[in-house]
Chain A
Amino acid sequence: MEHEMVEKEVAQKSMFIYLPISIGSALLFFLAATLTGDYPLVARIGGTIWVGLLTLIVSMPIVISRIKKQLHGKLQ
């Protein structure tokens, strides 16, 4: 029970970090693609989704494990 509660807290706190990171980098990509070249809309949107997804995949485990460590001092 106690473990599950901690896990839930970790998930919530982490989400507030990795989601902004992913969305932020995706938007940054969109902005860069819009400003730097004549890219079709499909390419810009597709690229934004892809960059956002990969950033999410990279940031999720990093952030979650950091928060976990912070939250319960590695539990031991």
Chain B
Amino acid sequence: MTEALFELSLPISGMTCASCVSHVEGALKELPGTSNVVVNLGTNKANLLYDPQRIKLDDLRRAVEDVGYAITTSELTLDVRGMTCASCVDHVEGALKELRGIQAAVVNLGLGTARVVYVPGVVSTSAMKHAVREVGYEVQERSEGVDALDRERQAREEEIKRQGRNLILAGSIGLIVMIGTFYDMLGSLKVFVPEFLSYKWVIGLLTTPIVFGPGRQFFVNSWRGLKHGVTDMNLLYATGIGAAYGIAVINTLFPKAGFGGEGATFFESAALLTGFIILGRWLEALTRGRTSEAIRKLMKLQPKVARVIRNDKEEEIPADEVELGDVILVRPGESIAVDGQVFDGYSAVDESMLTGESLPVEKKAGDPVIGGTLNKTGAFKFKATRVGKDTSLAQIIKLVEDAQASKAPIQKLADWVAGHFILGVHLLAVVVFLFWFFYGYQMFFDPNSSFIMSPYKLGEIGVFGFSLLLSVTVLVISCPCAVGLATPSAMMAGTGKGAEFGVLFKGAEAIENTSKLQTIVFDKTGTLTKGEPSVTDVIPGHEWKVEDSNLAMTSWQIETVLRMAAIAEKNSEHPLGEAIVRGAQERGLQLVDPVSFNSIPGHGVEANAEGFDILLGNRKLMKERNVDFSKLISQAEALEADGKTVMFIGLNGQAAGLIAVADTLKEYSIEAVRHLHKMGLEVAMITGDNRRTAEAIARKVGIDQVLAEVLPQDKAEEVKKLQAQGKKVAMVGDGVNDAPALAQAEVGMAIGSGTDVAKETGDIILIKDDIRDVVVALEVARATMRKVKQNLFWAFFYNTLGIPLGAGLFYTFASVVISPEIAGLMMAISSISVTLNTLLLKGFKPSVGRGHNPKRGSGSTQLRPATASVGND
């Protein structure tokens, strides 16, 4: 056993003084297996010797963290080529994780990437690349943005071309081999085929370049892996093709060896098996690229140039050279280069590509613009506020990429199964061989039996040939390629689909958890409601008339009631007063300045304007001033029962009317909750409001459970209580005040965040302030998980059916066996069917209507005679 001590240089963050140095030194020295610990404040590094037998790097990290510091880690994404299955994922991850200094390595088969968290200085990028190459894969460091897109596309195109070339070679020669093999069955068509093609040695000569040309990749890759102790699907293919070719050669050289005699060749098995496997690879390369289309679409949005005004001159510069504060001119039809704020001009901008909003959004001075969106009509200038990696588009791309690179729990299980499957299959191949060699052949062999879809009778085949064929077929038919593709391909398509509708999943786990939800808890203020009070009802006094007034009011003139109230509140800073002023302004009412104004704290205001004494306030104020509201009191109580705040207005000592103010529902709250109910979910609302107000809102929306009078800090506790009842809970909130509750829930959804996604907490970010996106998130997640389950079903179905078929289980009673080439075709079909099934997600459309563009805070109130009920009720 080696007793080697390794030298380490760990980057430490958080040290500010000499005592920090001694803390870190002390913490590291205390650990068993460390020596020569020297911490340098200047370089922020801890140098030490450690014995990996006695202590792990993770222990060192924990020790440093325990004393309040951290070992700095970096993140890197590698593009890995040549991965075809879940076991490849295992190998690459395993190779990386074996390196000292790697904290985490997550490989995404669909994207062909490996995301690595590592300790700089302990492990180098070249060591990582070396390790990946050693286990048989090509690797390079991934670059950002458009460059990465180009490289990825280039790599994919190269792979498609390479497999395409292989396919043409294997397919065309394979066809000739096929024709030659079945020459005797061609009948009258024989005249078109030269007889020499049916000679065994000619067929052998034709097959050899297929096996060692296009088929060479399987031998090379499997050997590379094998010598590092890893097995992958290449090995299954290599043993399958190699054995079929070996049988054919032996049978040609020694016809009496027991492989079917003179009549059989088996070269066509080797040729067609290679051809079908390569067909599978080619189709996979073609279709796999399509599942990651969403991220490519996003990357394509990144504009390449920007028209910047510097020193009063307009110049075109690369978009990534735009600096903060630069003034950028955008003309109609041009893309917006970076995020910014409009200060001159007017236009409509199509933001659908990032937010999912179908209609263009108006932009005027002061409005924000998002990089990557498309200017439609006018020209405008804006100042850059976020550039480079900080732009919304860059953040969204990063988020979607991270999500696609993550693994759902179901995928981890599938990967584990597939990773261990190959060894199991080889063991099974030994068992099948031994069974048929020592027992099965003697017991069940029927010389008149044949392969499925083959003209051969197995008549002359001997015990070894028969057992070997079945053993090889098991190897080929068991390939778990479809299992490896089933989950990641669907997750990639699902996260991409979500992004298309402005729903950003932060990881594959978020999708899986979302699909299992049973209860959705909405925060009330700002989520279900607009979060600011507005006038909902105006009820004028029935018998109130002022004959001598220039107002010439009648009982139905509710605009006047609202206008007088707004005049009285014009100088008020109270939220209810502001709501009344805003309500009057939204209706275009002219508000003069009051002649006099007096605030009555806790009660209301009094003012004088246009010859009227205006008294506006609560019931108590009216009682004190002897204004008789007895005829309106029942209506006031009804409004209060609806959770609204009622303001009483008196003019010249008479009851002039009621104004109800409330936090109004967002435009689509009711629709969203209705959809959630249709999906079989329980909907709860959490709020700090009193129970009466909360229940009034809940009734309107159709909420099942009201959690009222909950302090902000207790929201997480309420979520926990629901979870304690065994429910899978999602919390929908604004992502800032609700952060603890969002974190506590199985799924936290931050709504209305806009495009500054990096700041958001929660597992799902809903870019738009449209509550229906909760439904979209659930539908996307459910559709994705449905695809995952269908894919896994089909993948395992092929293997479950194929393995007994390949192992000759049915031969015992039906006397038919499957040939290796048909096994190869079945496996190719299995991965293609899984990928094609995933591609069906491209047609996904959410059930909630998305044809129009709700303007935030628009909810303009409609005034009706008598009772003007406004908002969303």
Contacts and interface: CB of A to CB of B under 8 A. Distances in A.
Interface of A: 2-3, 7, 9-11, 14, 29, 32-33, 36-37, 39-40, 42-44, 46-47, 50-51, 53-55, 57-58, 60-65, 68, 70-76
5 contacts: A40-B258, A40-B464, A57-B426, A62-B423, A70-B1
A39 B463 contact: yes
Contacts of B797: none
A76 B98 CA distance: 7
Given A47-B433, A57-B231, A75-B98, 20 more contacts: A3-B99, A7-B134, A7-B228, A9-B2, A14-B229, A29-B434, A39-B463, A42-B462, A44-B464, A46-B250, A46-B468, A47-B467, A54-B429, A58-B426, A58-B430, A62-B229, A63-B229, A73-B52, A73-B54, A76-B100
Contact of A43 (B53, B57, B463): B463
B810 interface: no
A43 B464 contact: yes
Q: Which of A3, A10, A54, A68 has the most CB of B within 10 A?
A: A54
A54 B100 contact: no
B37 to A, nearest CB: 18
Give the 6 A-B residue pairs with the shortest CB-CB distance, closest first: A64-B229, A43-B464, A42-B257, A61-B229, A76-B57, A54-B430
B6 A61 contact: no
B433 A54 contact: yes
Nearest to B103: A76
Q: Which of A51, A71, A76 has the most CB of B within 10 A?
A: A76
A46 B464 contact: yes
B721 to A, nearest CB: 41
Contact of B434 (A51, A60, A65): A51
Contacts of A32: 438
A57 B229 contact: no
A76 B430 contact: no
Nearest to B464: A43
Contact of B438 (A37, A46, A55): A37
Contacts of A9: 2
Contacts of A50: 243, 433, 468, 471
A64 B229 CA distance: 5
Interface string B246-285: 0000100010011000000000000000000000000000
A65 B229 CA distance: 6
A73 B101 CA distance: 14
B230 interface: yes
Given A40-B462, A42-B464, A54-B430, A61 B231 contact: yes
Given A42-B257, A46-B250, A76-B56, A57 B464 contact: no
B56 A73 contact: yes
Contacts of B423: 58, 61-62
Contacts of B168: none
A60 B657 CA distance: 90
A40 B54 CA distance: 55
A43 B258 contact: yes
A71 B2 contact: yes
Count class of interface residues, chain B: 35 or more
Interface in B55-72: 56-58
Contact of A2 (B6, B54, B57, B250): B6
A35 to B, nearest CB: 11
Contacts of A29: 434
B98 A68 contact: yes
A73 B471 CA distance: 37
A3 B101 CA distance: 12
A3 B123 CA distance: 11
A75 B52 contact: yes
A42 B228 CA distance: 32
A51 B430 contact: yes
Nearest to A45: B464
B437 interface: yes
A42 B463 CA distance: 10
A33 B226 CA distance: 29
Contacts of B2: 9, 71-72
A29 B437 CA distance: 10
Interface in B24-56: 52-54, 56
B437 A33 contact: yes
B227 interface: yes
A1 B230 CA distance: 21
B6 A54 contact: no
A63 B429 CA distance: 19
A41 B249 CA distance: 17
A3 B464 contact: no
B427 interface: yes
B235 interface: yes
Contacts of B98: 68, 74-75
A68 B851 CA distance: 60
Contact of B127 (A3, A43, A54, A55): A3
A70 to B, nearest CB: 8
B438 A60 contact: no
A11 to B, nearest CB: 7
A29 B438 CA distance: 10
Contacts of B101: 76
Contacts of A42: 250, 254, 257-258, 462, 464
Contacts of A53: 239
Nearest to A14: B229
Given A55-B430, A76-B52, A60 B229 contact: yes
Nearest to A18: B229
B438 A61 contact: no
A73 B463 contact: no
Nearest to A11: B227
Contacts of B58: 76
Contacts of A36: 438
Given A3-B127, A43-B462, A76-B100, A60 B426 contact: no
Nearest to A67: B229
B52 A72 contact: yes
Given A50-B468, A73-B53, A60 B257 contact: no
Nearest to A64: B229
B433 A51 contact: yes
A63 B257 CA distance: 34
Contacts of B468: 46-47, 50
Contacts of A33: 437-438
Contacts of A11: 227
B163 to A, nearest CB: 25
Q: Which of B53, B101, B430 has the most CB of A within 10 A?
A: B430
Interface in B74-110: 97-102
B434 A68 contact: no
Given A54-B430, A61-B423, A76-B57, A47 B52 contact: no
Contacts of A46: 250, 257, 464, 468
Q: Which of B58, B99, B228, B250 has the most CB of A within 10 A?
A: B228
B472 to A, nearest CB: 9
Contacts of B102: 76
B430 A61 contact: no
Interface string B372-408: 0000000000000000000000000000000000000
Contacts of B243: 50
A44 B463 CA distance: 10
A11 B566 CA distance: 87
A6 to B, nearest CB: 8
A31 to B, nearest CB: 12
Contact of B239 (A3, A57, A71, A76): A57
B528 to A, nearest CB: 49
A63 B235 CA distance: 17
A49 B257 CA distance: 15
B226 A61 contact: yes
B226 to A, nearest CB: 6
A63 B230 CA distance: 10
Contacts of B226: 57, 60-61
A51 B468 CA distance: 10
A35 B131 CA distance: 47
Nearest to A70: B1
